[in-house]
Amino acid sequence: MNFLEERIVKDGIIKEGNVLKVDSFLNHQMDIDLFNEIGQEFKKRFANKEINKILTIEASGIGIACIAAQHFHVPVVFAKKSKSINLEGEMLVAEVESFTHKCKNNVIVAKKFLNPEDKVLIIDDFLANGCALQGLIQIVQSAGASVEGIGIVIEKGFQSGGRIIRNLGFQLESLAIIESMDDKAGTVVFREQ
């Protein structure tokens, strides 16, 4: 097990319905030393890529992306989620359907922050069905920029998001991929990487 898988086993809480709660260190309370290890690992996995911008999505991706950015020495842009589009100026918008919440949301980035010459690393905390991620990819491509890689902290390997993104040819690196969880036994099985 890597450092993240160990932490998930130690502090993650498994709930009925394949829910994994990691709010004590990842997406409500945030362990910044852990984020630094995550950033370092992303840097290692994308060492061969020339990246000049990190793109993430509010809210829980922001902290991870900012700490990771210190290892890449690049700025971070976070996409906004909104039901309506009321931001001024020219916007890149992707409409994505949420599987979990069964509603449509817009993923929005100001046009001026993504340019055709940008080589983008997308970072987010979770990947399950990948709706938000598909919106981010769409936005980068609509700006004429390139998605150099995708760094995810925890992927639910038993849901379809990761497979779809890899099938599309993207370099998707998930630091922990969960194959299965058992809320009765409190156990998690990770994919060998």
Instruction: Please provide residue 90's backbone torsions phi and psi, each rounded to the nearest 5 degrees.
Output: -75, 130
63 binds a copy of itself (CB under 8 A): yes
Per rule CB under 8 A, is residue 32 in the interface with a copy of itself?
yes
Enter the DSSP assignment of 31. Answer: -
CA distance 142 to 135: 10
Nearer to a copy of itself, 69 or 122 (CB): 69
Pick one of 3, 9, 18, 110: the residue that binds a copy of itself (CB under 8 A): 110
* Residue 58 binds a copy of itself, judged by CB under 8 A: yes
28 binds a copy of itself (CB under 8 A): yes
187 touches a copy of itself (CB under 8 A): no
Pick one of 4, 8, 69, 152: the residue that binds a copy of itself (CB under 8 A).
69
> Is 9 an interacting residue with respect to a copy of itself (CB under 8 A)?
no
Report the residue from 2, 6, 44, 70 that binds a copy of itself according to the rule CB under 8 A. Answer: 70
85 binds a copy of itself (CB under 8 A): no
Distance set, CA 36 to CA 29, 43, 87, 146, 176 (Å): 15, 10, 32, 25, 16
Closest C-alpha to 125, from 58, 32, 47:
58
Amino acid at 86: N
Piece of 41-49, 76-84, 143-151, 171-179 that binds a copy of itself (CB under 8 A):
76-84
| Nearer to a copy of itself (CB atom), residue 67 or residue 131 | 67
Long-range CB contacts (within 8 A, 24+) of 96-105: 96/131, 96/132, 96/134, 96/135, 97/131, 98/131, 98/132, 99/128, 99/129, 99/131, 100/128, 100/129, 105/81
End-to-end alpha carbon distance in the chain: 10
Task: Please give the residue ranges that form the binding site for a copy of itself (CB under 8 A).
Answer: 23-24, 28-32, 35-36, 58-59, 62-63, 65-67, 69-70, 74-78, 80, 109-110, 112-113
